[in-house]
Amino acid sequence: MRVKRLELTGIGPFRHQQVIDFAQLSESGLFLIDGPTGAGKTTIIDAIVFALFSGLSGESTSKERIRSDHALGNEKSEVILDFSVQGRQHRITRSPAYAAAKANGEGFTNKPAKQTLTEYNTDGSVKTTLTSATDIGVHVSRLLNMQAQQFRQLVVLAQGEFAALLRMKPKERLEALRGLLGTEFFQDLQTVIAEEGTRSREVLAQARKELQVTATQAEVFIDEFNRAELDPLFEILRDVDVSPEQRSDAFARIAEVLSMDSLRLEKELAQARTELEPVEKEFIATSHVMEMITDIEQALALIAASELALDPLDAGITPVEAQARSQSLSIDAGALQPLAEWESQAEARTGQRELLAAKVTETSARVVECETELAQLPTTIDALRKSLATLPAISEKLRTKSARLLEINGQLELIDQLSEAQQIDSQLANAEKSADAELNGISVSLEKARGAVTALLNQQLEQRVAVLAQALIDGQPCKVCGSTVHPAPAHTEAVGAVVTEEEVQLAEQSVSELVSQHEVVAAAAEIARKEHLESALVVAQLQGQVGASTAESLAQEKVDVSQSVADLEGEVNRLTESQELIARLESELENGTANLTALNKAHADALKEMEFFDQQVTDMLAKIVAAVGNESSAACSARNSSGDGRKNWLHLVRHMPPSKNVNAHSQLK
């Protein structure tokens, strides 16, 4: 920002219009606003701050003081400021609120504050005009990249307020300077980089974990003859500290070895398929032959049984008995046909029985497993609850340690502030000494100058007396004392050189200048003394707050307390997670209990289903035993007494449940 022109009317000590051309002053690169106390130096700064922010340079100064006390009731108060920011030309015109005398001379009228901001294009035309105080404030703050408070602290510090900036905490000073220096972009960039770094570390950790899992899984598929070569490569993949280049080389080598192994296996598989093809054809042909042999054996067995039943010579019966037996066999064959069909399904029933038994075994195992898991949950929950009972005490301890950590940080900040305050106090003490020394020097010079003026006046008086003495006439009265006797008149030769009025005026002017300089330096010395006194009070207050603590002892204690706080926070977090774990385990216990009930029901249903199946088999076998064991049927007796008949019954009994085949065994016996 460059201030180019300032126009004041009815502001501070300036009743009439005053114009300051800062553009001309800035040509020298540096200029000083100088003048005695009350001359209006601060008013110039106040006018600039008032034009920009509608306030004054002093933080505690009321902006109502901006209007001149010398202005009449109907005279205006106005500030016009021309300035530029990065080549953008602006003019702000502000008038404070004040009470103006009415035209009839009776009473006053309150004049509201007025403001106008105008921004110009490069060609001088108007670009933007604002009249709202809020809009102007926002525009100026964005334009200068600072608020009024920051402007007062960093640009136009009022007398006595520089120490406030120095007394700021480092964090507050950083906030005050951040907007001026424009560090928001770098702060945001730092935040983004930190977040990206955290995400990258998480992705890297996950990738390394997945890489280790993949390497472990891939090792399962390694042939023994390749393990000596691949094991070191997988060790490289599992090592998180190896470089990306080493890991990439290991991947490439593993891929190469596995590719060669894959080609070898494909060749072996193709060769095995070629060798297996004639074997499969021979097996299919053999299966057909075995099926034909089985059919032939069954046909021969039936023929033999028929011949034994129908040959009256071999059985020792008459033809009439043979005919009767043949009729009986026909009747029995029709009755036994359904039973024979049921018996032919023995293998299917065996498979079904095995499936039912497997289902019972599976449900029983699941019940046992569920009971085992549920039995452990109450113990785990009780242990977690006991551990959770310590949470209040640990939380209280954490609060105590955290409070102490805050106290330590506060003490360390106070020590930092004390160190800064002591430095400031030392600087102010030196400034006070310098001001006192300068004041003493001026006082000595002033006394000498006053003595010189007195000497000149005395010498001038003696010269005037000598001149009058030259005009004395004996017997005539003196014009000064009236005496007619003149015993010892003064002589001009005795008083030295003639002292002129110009010399006296120069000496008196020197005294006057020294008096003015003495007043200025005395005021500066008084300000330095007050600032040093304020600084000494701040140092004393900080020393009282710090006490006997030292930065070294507090720093060590901070390390210990910080570690305790970190440990306690970890314990609190663990116990807090235990609360969630208890709730989850209680939910698992509830769900597991319901699941156990369902599993018990499923197991009971499986048992019932298997028992029902066994009962059906037992009932059917009883029917067969009853049908075949009827001694009135000669055919059945013949079949029962034959070896093949017993062989068939043994087959049936073998497929019965052990608890259901007692009657069948007794029938066979």
- As given in the structure block, the two tokens for residue 481 are 């004392």
What interhelical angle do 319-343 and 551-628 show, nearest 10?
Answer: 170
Statement: the pTM of the whole predicted model exceeds 0.75: no
Range in 321-330, 386-395, 397-406, 410-419 with the lowest mean pLDDT = 321-330
Per-residue pLDDT tens over the stretch 194-253: 888 888 878 877 776 776 676 666 655 555 546 667 777 777 766 767 777 777 787 777
- Nearest 5°: phi and psi at 364? -65, -45
Length of the chain: 669
Distance CA 411, CA 543 (A): 11
The 8-class DSSP code of residue 593 comes to H
Q: Is the predicted pLDDT of residue 494 greater than 60, yes or no?
A: no
pLDDT of residue 122: 86
Distance CA 314, CA 639 (A): 15
Q: Calculate Rg over the CA atoms of the chain.
A: 60
The 8-class DSSP code of residue 28 comes to G
- Nearest 5°: phi and psi at 15? -75, -45
Mean pLDDT of 530-558: 87
Task: Tell me if residue 19 falls in helix, strand or coil.
Answer: strand
pLDDT of residue 314: 45
Q: Which band of pLDDT confidence, cut at 50, 70 and 90, is reported for residue 117?
A: very high
pLDDT of residue 430: 92
pLDDT of residue 638: 38
Distance CA 629, CA 637 (A): 7
Range in 74-88, 258-272, 435-449 with the lowest mean pLDDT = 258-272
More reliable by pLDDT, 298 or 194: 194
The alpha carbon of residue 27 and the mean position of all alpha carbons in its chain are separated, in whole angstroms, by: 51
Q: For residue 82, what are the β-bridge partners?
A: 5, 91
Q: Is the predicted pLDDT of residue 631 greater than 50, yes or no?
A: no
Q: Is the predicted pLDDT of residue 361 greater than 70, yes or no?
A: yes
Mean pLDDT of 5-32: 86
Distance CA 265, CA 607 (A): 48
What interhelical angle do 319-343 and 634-641 show, nearest 10?
Answer: 70
pLDDT of residue 305: 53
* Among candidate residues 407, 346, 370, the one with its CA nearest the CA of residue 601: 370
pLDDT of residue 628: 56
Mean pLDDT of 557-584: 88
CB 322 within 8 A of CB 312: yes
Task: Tell me if residue 285 falls in helix, strand or coil.
Answer: helix
Distance CA 103, CA 35 (A): 38
- As given in the structure block, the two tokens for residue 104 are 């009839």
Q: Which band of pLDDT confidence, cut at 50, 70 and 90, is reported for residue 527?
A: very high
Q: Is the predicted pLDDT of residue 7 greater than 90, yes or no?
A: yes
Q: What is the largest CA-CA distance in the chain?
A: 225
* Among candidate residues 568, 547, 546, 566, the one with its CA nearest the CA of residue 558: 566
pLDDT of residue 130: 93
Q: Is the predicted pLDDT of residue 163 greater than 60, yes or no?
A: no
The alpha carbon of residue 396 and the mean position of all alpha carbons in its chain are separated, in whole angstroms, by: 26
Q: Is the predicted pLDDT of residue 571 greater than 80, yes or no?
A: yes
Mean pLDDT of 330-342: 58
Q: Is the predicted pLDDT of residue 55 greater than 90, yes or no?
A: no
Distance CA 468, CA 491 (A): 10
Mean pLDDT of 572-601: 87
Distance CA 5, CA 435 (A): 34
Distance CA 292, CA 286 (A): 10
The count of other CB atoms within 10 Å of the CB of residue 544 is: 8
Q: Which band of pLDDT confidence, cut at 50, 70 and 90, is reported for residue 604?
A: very high
The 8-class DSSP code of residue 146 comes to S
Task: Tell me if residue 206 falls in helix, strand or coil.
Answer: helix
pLDDT of residue 475: 76
The residue type found at 89 is Q
Sheet containing strand 18-21, strands side by side? 18-21, 2-9, 78-85, 88-95, 114-120, 126-130
The 8-class DSSP code of residue 110 comes to E
pLDDT of residue 649: 40
Return the top range by mean pLDDT from 7-11, 251-255, 485-489.
7-11
Q: Is the predicted pLDDT of residue 393 greater than 50, yes or no?
A: yes
Return the top range by mean pLDDT from 306-315, 323-332, 335-344, 520-529.
520-529
CB 42 within 8 A of CB 158: yes
CB 546 within 8 A of CB 415: yes
Range in 147-151, 167-171, 352-356 with the lowest mean pLDDT = 167-171
For the chain, percent of residues with pLDDT exceeding 70: 70
Mean pLDDT score of the chain, rounded to an integer? 76
Per-residue pLDDT tens over the stretch 66-86: 788 787 777 888 999 999 988
- As given in the structure block, the two tokens for residue 547 are 């006490």
Distance CA 384, CA 391 (A): 11
Q: What is the 3-state secondary structure (H, E, C) of 566-609?
A: HHHHHHHHHHHHHHHHHHHHHHHHHHHHHHHHHHHHHHHHHHHH
Task: Tell me if residue 476 falls in helix, strand or coil.
Answer: coil
As to burial, measured by CB atoms within 10 angstroms (0-12 exposed, 13-18 middle, 19+ buried), residue 507 is buried
Distance CA 356, CA 606 (A): 7
Distance CA 619, CA 625 (A): 10
Mean pLDDT of 443-454: 90
Distance CA 588, CA 11 (A): 81
pLDDT of residue 643: 40
Distance CA 302, CA 639 (A): 11
pLDDT of residue 605: 92
CB 486 within 8 A of CB 474: yes
